[in-house]
Amino acid sequence: MANRILASILCGVLFGIGLVVSDMVNPARVLAFLDVAGDWDPSLAFVMGGALVPSSAAYAIKRYRQRPAFDTEFHVPTSRSIDASLVVGAVLFGLGWGLVGLCPGPAIASLVTGRWEAVLFAVAMIAGMFVYRIAKSWQTAPLRLH
């Protein structure tokens, strides 16, 4: 268990450092990438492309292993269906990313900058997660009439 926690922390720190070094915690850079009709900045495409290298390597290694080093099984999505939940989530993600230039990973990493905008975004994101969980629990809870 301790190895799993340590590995998770190290991966998160490495990911955060990568986001800071690549300047993906800078909303202006992300918004410039999305501005294809204006002053387009292609640097985010290179960051995304670079992320494919370790991801592809991980999937290749997975084929030859029974389980990961620090868990009992691989946790890989198996569903290939496109449902309303996926579409709504993708739309909300895209709207948030396009409006403010941050998504969850860079938002958390940008907290090290101390900018109030980053803190506000992170607080709103976490509040949204709690609202979703509450709404989801109401949806699955049985109706009780007293």
pLDDT digits (tens, 9 = 90+) for 65-113: 999 888 888 888 888 899 988 898 899 888 888 888 888 888 888 888 8
Query: Is 109 contained in some domain?
Result: yes
Range of the domain at 54: 2-140
pLDDT of residue 23: 87
Q: How many domains in the chain?
A: 1
* pTM of the complete model: 0.70
At which residue do the structure tokens 């989801």 appear?
136
pLDDT of residue 143: 58
**pLDDT tens digits for range 6-63:** 988 998 899 888 888 888 888 898 899 988 898 899 988 998 898 899 889 998 999 9
**CA count, 13 A, side-chain hemisphere, 91:** 7
Continuous segment of H or E residues that includes residue 118: helix 116-140
Q: Give me the phi and psi of 26, to 5 degrees please.
A: -95, 105
Query: Is 146 contained in some domain?
Result: no
> Is pLDDT above 90 for 127?
yes
Structure tokens belonging to residue 89: 């989530």
> Is pLDDT above 90 for 141?
no
Arithmetic mean of pLDDT, 109-127:
88
pLDDT of residue 91: 92
Structure tokens belonging to residue 47: 């960051």
pLDDT of residue 144: 62
Query: Is 101 contained in some domain?
Result: yes
Structure tokens belonging to residue 25: 């915690």
